[in-house]
Amino acid sequence: MEVMSQKNKIFEGLTVQKGAQKAKKDVFEFLFDLLIEEEAAISAIYFTMSEDNLKNFLSKDYIFVASDAGCRSVKGPLAKGRPHPRIFGTFPRVIRKYVKEEKLLDLSRAIYKMTWQPAERFKLRGRGKIEEGYYADLVLFDLNKISDTSDFLDPFHYCEGIEYVFVNGQLAIEKGKQTGKRAGMVLRKN
């Protein structure tokens, strides 16, 4: 779980059960007290998904790959709390796990599900393809090295294997390091 107040930071990263034990309270008493103290501003990770269902969804033509994770960094003001590891590794995980290891998708299908398919669904014109007249948003990665490196206990790790990132044609990541170029923009439906 992730909390807002300094007082309750001691519970970050713990399960509700472990938090209750640490507070020496009944699980429900702990949870309700925490919700009241934090004014319900608590983030939590729920372990309720089925891997079989996820694989079934990913294999469907109409399902694309995306993440509902917010913006975080491994250092600075955005390096706080205990976010879900997907914040740093959704797309590398799909390539590593479902393309390379489990062969659920071929690489071109996975890339399509991460780029052109969501761009089309959200009507983001000029995005999601490498084509003349399109914005040059590109990620160049080493297929042999690409991997998510975050986990639930230690989520603040960038993935491995991403060598270059171009945002609107500007080099933003070079050999895994930020260049300082900030060429991004707010995207609106067309």
**Per residue, what are the HEC states of 141-161?**
ECCCCCECCCCCCCCCCCCEC
pLDDT score at 45: 79
**CB atoms near residue 132 (< 10 Å):** 5
Q: Which amino acid is at 130?
A: I
Please name every residue paired with 43 in a beta bridge, in sequence order, or none if there are none: 2
Q: Are residues 20 and 91 in the same domain?
A: no
Helix (H, G, I), strand (E, B) or coil at 90: helix
What is the model's pLDDT at position 141? 96
Query: Cα-flanking dihedrals φ and ψ of residue 40, to 5°?
Result: 65, 10
144 and 62 within one domain: yes
Residues 94 and 148 in one domain: yes
Q: Identify whether 190 is part of a domain.
A: no
Quick one: DSSP state of residue 165? E
Q: Which of 110, 137, 111, 140 shows the shortest CA–CA distance to 124?
A: 137
Answer yes or no: do 91 and 18 share one domain: no
Low-confidence ranges of the chain (pLDDT < 50): none
- Examine the domain organization and report whether 161 and 103 are in the same domain: yes
Structural domain boundaries, residue 168: 50-178
Distances (CA, A) of 15 to 18, 81, 124: 5, 14, 39
| Residue 183 maps to a domain | no
For 147, other C-beta atoms within 10 Å of its C-beta total: 18
92 domain-assigned: yes
Residues 35 and 60 occupy one common structural domain: no
The token pair at 132 is: 């003349």
Report if residue 64 sits inside a domain: yes
Whether 94 maps to a domain, the answer reads: yes
Q: Determine, yes or no, domain membership for 184.
A: no
Q: What confidence score (pLDDT) does residue 177 get?
A: 87
In a domain, 101, yes or no: yes
Q: Domain check: are 109 and 77 in the same one?
A: yes
Tens digit of pLDDT for each residue in 86-122?
A: 889 999 999 999 999 999 999 999 999 999 999 999 9
Question: Do 142 and 163 touch, CB atoms closer than 8 A?
Answer: yes
The Cα 91–Cα 87 span in angstroms is 10
Query: Within this chain, do residues 54 and 29 fall inside the same structural domain, yes or no?
Result: no
pTM reported for the whole predicted model: 0.80
Q: What is residue 190's predicted lDDT score, i.e. its pLDDT?
A: 66
- The answer to whether residues 40 and 9 belong to one domain is yes
Nearest-angstrom CA–CA distance, 72 and 87: 7
Q: Is the dihedral of CA 104, 110, 112, 115 positive or negative?
A: positive
In the chain, how many domains are there? 2
Does 13 share its domain with 66? no
Whether residue 188 lies inside any domain: the answer is no
- Last residue within a domain, chosen from 10, 26, 44: 44
Residues 68 and 88 grouped into a single domain: yes
| Same domain as 172, residue 116 | yes
